[in-house]
Structure 1
Amino acid sequence: MGQPDVSTDALVDFDHHSDDYQRNELRINADLRRRCPVAWNENYGGFWFVTGYDAVTEVARDGDTFAHKYEPDAPDGVSYQGEMGVPRPQGQPPLGIGEVDGPYHLALRRALTPFFCTGAVDKMRPFMEQSVHWFIDQRIADGQMDLVLDYASPVPAILTMRLMGLPYDDWQRYANLFHSVMAASGGDEYNRAIAEVPAMLDGLGKFIAARRADPGDDLTSFLVQFDIEGTRLDDSQLLDILWNLIGGGVDTTTSLTALSLLHLGTHRDLRQQLIDHPELYRRAAEEFLRYFTVNKQLSRTVSRDTVLAGQQLRRNDRVLVSWIGANHDEREFDDPGEVMLDRSPNRHVAFGLGPHRCIGAPLARIMFEVMVRAVLERMPDYEVDLDGVHTYAGNPTMTGVGKLPVTFTPSQSLGTPRPQ
């Protein structure tokens, strides 16, 4: 690709996949924002690293110049590398919504929005509440549980199964796969996790075929019957879309909820503030979204020469957009390193911006509130076993928690019916 003509201040040389970067990400990003919010990193063949809030929002809103799509052999001569990072992880199927652009993407967004709008999410709330209380009921008398394995993982996964029309009992298989891929630190661990993907896709292909033959009233049934200008989606498109939706459903909300419960469990003043002032749940959701920014970075491909924050970007350049860098920009957020449950305004970019803004944002917000509220109401004195906490390590794109063991004062089950 070659090094562009940039000033010395704009040249950086660090490995964003390294343990050192993972430990010091916020500090490194802060230094870059002050020195050069759009910097050229020479590793992995070279790419632009964007950390400043203004530059990140400009990239996010200009989907034509900064392409999301994965099309390495595009006819226009640009090698579009998708949004999954630099370099793109091996073995990852294309994201059927996130890694497409243009009229096809817009048509999909318009078709899927009614399933994720505020009104549709409000109708899901009773099922969410039933699910959270059923899972808490299973462990409430024990006085101990794992808030990831026993709670924050199964609740979003079961809701995703319901939305897609998949059997509820399959939730653990899908959740375990996506969590394993995201939590893997690389090498053999990642290879073992990603090796399970072909079998999962094969199963989804069979599910698609079954829905084609006998549609129901779920989202998959809608997709197999959906057409764009008279042409229905083919099996490859459907697989990519389902992979995208299921992955977003079973991992990101789990990570947001688990990280928030970990923080509240180790900051008693904030936990008590939220217990005493439940009207803060909506603002608290936005603040934890900003502070943790579960989806930390996504990549783009430059489709045409452009200037960003004074830097000359060339057609075919790769760009890594740091959402977490933007969400900790001191010029946009006062004391960004502090969690303020009542922060306002809070123009975070945890869901992205522009045409590819996360379609599941309304669902994630409500699920956060329902899951965190239930824990604080039913086990308000929970204590985190810090020695047993496992956080994602070595993943530059996503952050999350794999295990979150806690103890609390035992109490009686509510006898909540099993979700069905």
Structure 2
Amino acid sequence: MEPDQIQTLMAAFDHTSEAQMRDPHPMYRAFRTQCPVGRSEQHGGFFVVSSYELVKTVFDDYARFSSTEGVGIPPHPYKMLPIDLDPPQQTKFRRVLNPRFTVESVSALAPKVEAKVHELIDAFIERGHADFAAQLVRPLLPAIVLPLLGVPMSDQPQMSAWIEYLTRGRANDLAGVAKAGEQIGAYLMGLVAARRQQPPIDDIMGLLLSSEIDGKPLSDGEIFRVLLIILFGGLDTTSAVMLEALLHLSRNPVDARRLMSGELDWARAIEEFVRYASPIQGLRRTVSEATVLGGQVLVPGDWVFGLHGSANRDPAVFKDADRCVLDRTPNPHLGFGSGAHICLGRNLARLEIRILLQTVLHRIPDYTTPSDFDPEYLAGEARGMKSLPVRFTPGRRRANVRSTEGVA
């Protein structure tokens, strides 16, 4: 590609464009090889960083590349905590939340996750066809995450709709996004105020209500901003990995058999699914001091957008980077981020992905996607399939089959 062509391509880069994000990897490859730090003129202008080394630098070096002005392009209507903070203040919020997201803590949720996956499969298994996105993956995550936050399950549809709009609508409907932000803000602030008048409950909201930072209780606004980022992470990004993994296993049944036989290690496979899917395609940082990155002069106030989705396909780090290799090792992917802001919920995501995949492969081992299926993707910082239609041999509801306890 000629220099003027790559500059034109870079200037037009827009991660919120469904057309561009349907298959962004050829574009990412051109960026990495010819313009690892270049400028997009979309959304007011920002610098795009595409190579693994430079993306990791952006996310590890919070002294030069700050999160305090927000991490989204276009900006989110609300500041979210702790993602929109830098250490040491960010570390204080993480320290409050970390105990709820350790491997040991999230392992206690395994029976609930497995039971919900079975319940959702029961609803369609006798039909022999389903949309795994609409009928399995997307209903699963709110059922796990919302109770952790103290949000009633009766409010799941509205909560999911608000989060979806805040995620996807910022590029073309700022007024609608602002309205959705006001609505979710009023709802969560009302929930926090109500909980302050109730006896303590052992959930994440209860933890936030009882915690202090620098000797002061968290304000209602701080609690709202923490709940908001957990909702974004818990209801959107994990689903992208699940759907990409389900599609891969339908097209690569040998991998499915090797996983279920124990020939392939589940933990290693899940890391590869995360790398390959890169559910967060990119996040923003704001330059806080004059610096040079990849030969590009940056000044304070510049927006820098690090492309996880490109870094995770960089052949300088990953052999056969465009292939999903389930026994890949080592696998230093950036799918969960890097540095101080590495994903807080990564252990919960790993648990949910493993249980969902194991249960599907156990109960619906012959599911297939149509031979002509060409996935369409939702676009934004996160990228996930809109739908995943499958067919399979009809089965029986769990009440009529032997227990699968221990499968997950």
TM-score normalised to structure 1 length: 0.86
Identify which range, 250-259 or 292-301, moves more after superposition.
Answer: 250-259
Equivalent AA in structure 2 for residue 410 of structure 1: P
Q: 1:83 aligns with which of 71, 80, 83?
A: 71
Q: Report the aligned-residue RMSD.
A: 2.6
How many angstroms does 1:186 deviate by? 5.1
Equivalent AA in structure 2 for residue 69 of structure 1: T
Q: 1:94 aligns with which of 79, 84, 91?
A: 79
Equivalent AA in structure 2 for residue 64 of structure 1: A
- The answer to whether the Cα contact below 8 Å between 2:81 and 2:93 also exists between their aligned partners in 1 is no
CA distance in 1 between partners of 2:5 and 2:35 (Å)? 7
- The answer to whether the Cα contact below 8 Å between 2:38 and 2:47 also exists between their aligned partners in 1 is yes
Match in the other structure for 1:27 = 26
Structure-2 change in CA distance of 1:19 and 1:155 (3 Å): closer
Structure-2 change in CA distance of 1:187 and 1:41 (3 Å): closer
CA distance in 2 between partners of 1:370 and 1:127 (Å)? 10
Match in the other structure for 2:406 = none
* Counterpart mapping for 1:155-304 below 5 A: 155-182=140-167, 187=172, 195-214=179-198, 215-277=200-262, 279-304=264-289
Equivalent AA in structure 1 for residue 269 of structure 2: A
Match in the other structure for 1:312 = 297
When the two structures are aligned, how many residues end up with a matched partner?
A: 395
Structure-2 change in CA distance of 1:387 and 1:305 (3 Å): same
CA distance in 2 between partners of 1:198 and 1:390 (Å)? 33
How many angstroms does 1:204 deviate by? 1.2
Q: Secondary structure at the match of 2:285?
A: strand
CA distance in 2 between partners of 1:263 and 1:314 (Å)? 42
- The answer to whether the Cα contact below 8 Å between 1:275 and 1:376 also exists between their aligned partners in 2 is yes
CA distance in 1 between partners of 2:161 and 2:358 (Å)? 25
CA distance in 2 between partners of 1:88 and 1:231 (Å)? 29
1:265-298 CA-partner distances (Å, limit 9, x unpaired): 2333433333343642211111111111010000
CA distance in 1 between partners of 2:330 and 2:365 (Å)? 28
CA distance in 2 between partners of 1:156 and 1:279 (Å)? 26
1:274-325 CA-partner distances (Å, limit 9, x unpaired): 3343642211111111111010000000111122233322111110100111
How many angstroms does 1:410 deviate by? 1.6
How many angstroms does 1:54 deviate by? 0.7
- The answer to whether the Cα contact below 8 Å between 1:381 and 1:408 also exists between their aligned partners in 2 is yes
Match in the other structure for 1:374 = 359
Q: Secondary structure at the match of 2:390?
A: strand
1:151-206 CA-partner distances (Å, limit 9, x unpaired): 11122211112211222333333233334554569546x86576434222212111
Q: 2:130 aligns with which of 114, 134, 145?
A: 145
- The answer to whether the Cα contact below 8 Å between 2:279 and 2:383 also exists between their aligned partners in 1 is yes
Structure-2 change in CA distance of 1:185 and 1:410 (3 Å): farther
- The answer to whether the Cα contact below 8 Å between 2:258 and 2:264 also exists between their aligned partners in 1 is no
1:377-415 CA-partner distances (Å, limit 9, x unpaired): 10011122477876334x241111232232211222223
Match in the other structure for 1:400 = 384
Structure-2 change in CA distance of 1:252 and 1:24 (3 Å): closer
- The answer to whether the Cα contact below 8 Å between 2:249 and 2:256 also exists between their aligned partners in 1 is yes
Determine whether 1:38 maps to 2:22: no
Structure 2, gaps ≥5 residues long: 404-408
CA distance in 2 between partners of 1:405 and 1:23 (Å)? 17
- The answer to whether the Cα contact below 8 Å between 2:276 and 2:312 also exists between their aligned partners in 1 is yes
Match in the other structure for 1:49 = 48
1:14-51 CA-partner distances (Å, limit 9, x unpaired): 23244553245211211121123222334444322111
Q: Secondary structure at the match of 2:109?
A: helix
How many angstroms does 1:245 deviate by? 0.8
Structure-2 change in CA distance of 1:183 and 1:276 (3 Å): farther
Equivalent AA in structure 1 for residue 399 of structure 2: G
How many angstroms does 1:339 deviate by? 0.8
CA distance in 1 between partners of 2:6 and 2:388 (Å)? 40
CA distance in 1 between partners of 2:170 and 2:94 (Å)? 33
Give me the identity figure in percent. 30
CA distance in 2 between partners of 1:166 and 1:278 (Å)? 40
- The answer to whether the Cα contact below 8 Å between 2:272 and 2:328 also exists between their aligned partners in 1 is yes
Q: Secondary structure at the match of 1:135?
A: helix
